């Protein structure tokens, strides 16, 4: 785990992918900026007070305007 919970925060596992990359890979094409790996789910750990804050944090780093989709947010067992 890259982040540890602190002061009432929890660690959330956020599963994301890029819908634009996924669509292009299905058509045997490549996105002009993002790697083909983004067609698959990536899991990022986020330390936050609650699930809403975790979504907010990850959305700033991986904006929906760039094609990113948050598929799942769940509190980590650690």
In tens, the pLDDT along 4-46 reads: 666 778 999 999 999 999 999 999 999 999 999 999 999 999 9
Helix, strand, coil percentages in the chain from 3-state DSSP, rounded to 5: 35, 30, 35
Residue 5 domain flag: no
pLDDT of residue 3: 55
- The total number of structural domains in the chain stands at 1
Pairing verdict, β 68-75 and 42-48: unpaired
pLDDT of residue 1: 44
Is the predicted pLDDT of residue 78 greater than 80, yes or no? no
How many helices (H) and strands (E) would you count in the chain?
2, 3
The single residue listed with the structure tokens 């700033």 is 60
Q: What does the pLDDT average to over 54-72?
A: 97
Residue 4 domain flag: no
Residue 38 domain flag: yes
* 5: helix, strand or coil: coil
pLDDT of residue 4: 60
Residue 43 domain flag: yes
Residue 31 domain flag: yes
Structural domain span for residue 16: 10-75
CATH number of the domain enclosing 51: 3.10.20
Residue 1 domain flag: no
Q: Output the CA–CA distances (angstroms, integers) from residue 12 to 22, 32, 67, in the order listed.
A: 24, 30, 21
């Amino acid at each position: 785990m890259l982040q540890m919970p602190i002061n009432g925060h929890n660690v959330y596992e956020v599963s994301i992918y890029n819908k634009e990359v996924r669509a292009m890979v299905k058509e045997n094409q490549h996105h002009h900026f993002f790697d083909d790996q983004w067609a698959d789910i990536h899991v990022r750990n986020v330390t936050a007070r609650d699930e809403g804050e975790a979504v907010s944090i990850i959305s700033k780093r991986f904006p929906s305007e760039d094609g990113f989709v948050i598929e799942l947010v769940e509190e980590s067992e650690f």
